[in-house]
Structure 1
Amino acid sequence: MPLVDIQLIEGVFDATQKRDMNRKVMDAMVAVEGEAMRGVTSVRVQEVASGGWAIGGKALTAADVKAMAGR
């Protein structure tokens, strides 16, 4: 049973974006594995607190990520 884990910084994506992400990732997995795997494949979105994720030793906030994305 495949499990796809998506980890995000909290506050960057809204509920609609996370639902779309979940659906599109599931569709991608089914495209690879076949439709029979849809019922046993899990996609999990986990959010890390803003400031709780670091790259290159610099903690990232939701505002930092949004600025990088031009939002």
Structure 2
Amino acid sequence: MPFVDIKVIAGVFTAEEQRRLVESVSEAVIAVEGEALRPFTHVVITETPSGSWAIGGEAMTTEQVQAKRAAG
């Protein structure tokens, strides 16, 4: 059964945004796999501490990601 783990940097998304992510991703997976597997579809968000996630060798902080979100 599907298990989706969404990894994010802690503090980037609000609790409401995380809830919407979990619900939206769940619905997308169920749309593909079929309604019968709804009870077996798991989606979780795992938060990584600020500064503990590197992209291209550069550690990213919550503030850096929030600035990128605001710019986009």
**Shorter-chain TM-score: which interval?**
over 0.9
User: What secondary structure does 2:70 align onto?
Assistant: coil
With the length of structure 1 as denominator, give the TM-score of the two structures: 0.95
Q: Is 1:26 the equivalent of 2:29? A: no
Inter-partner Cα distance in structure 2 for 1:69 and 1:11: 13
- Aligned amino acid, residue 57 of structure 2: G
Q: Residues 11-69 of structure 1: CA distance to partner in whole angstroms, max 9, x if unpaired?
A: 00011100000000000001100111110010010000000000111100011001111
With the length of structure 2 as denominator, give the TM-score of the two structures: 0.94
Question: Percent same amino acid at aligned positions?
Answer: 48
> What are the residue-to-residue correspondences of 1:1-71 with 2, within 5 Å?
1-70=1-70
Q: RMSD of the TM alignment (CA)?
A: 0.9
User: What secondary structure does 1:59 align onto?
Assistant: strand
Inter-partner Cα distance in structure 1 for 2:38 and 2:24: 12
User: What secondary structure does 2:13 align onto?
Assistant: coil
Aligned structure 1 segments of 4 or more residues deviating by more than 3 angstroms: none
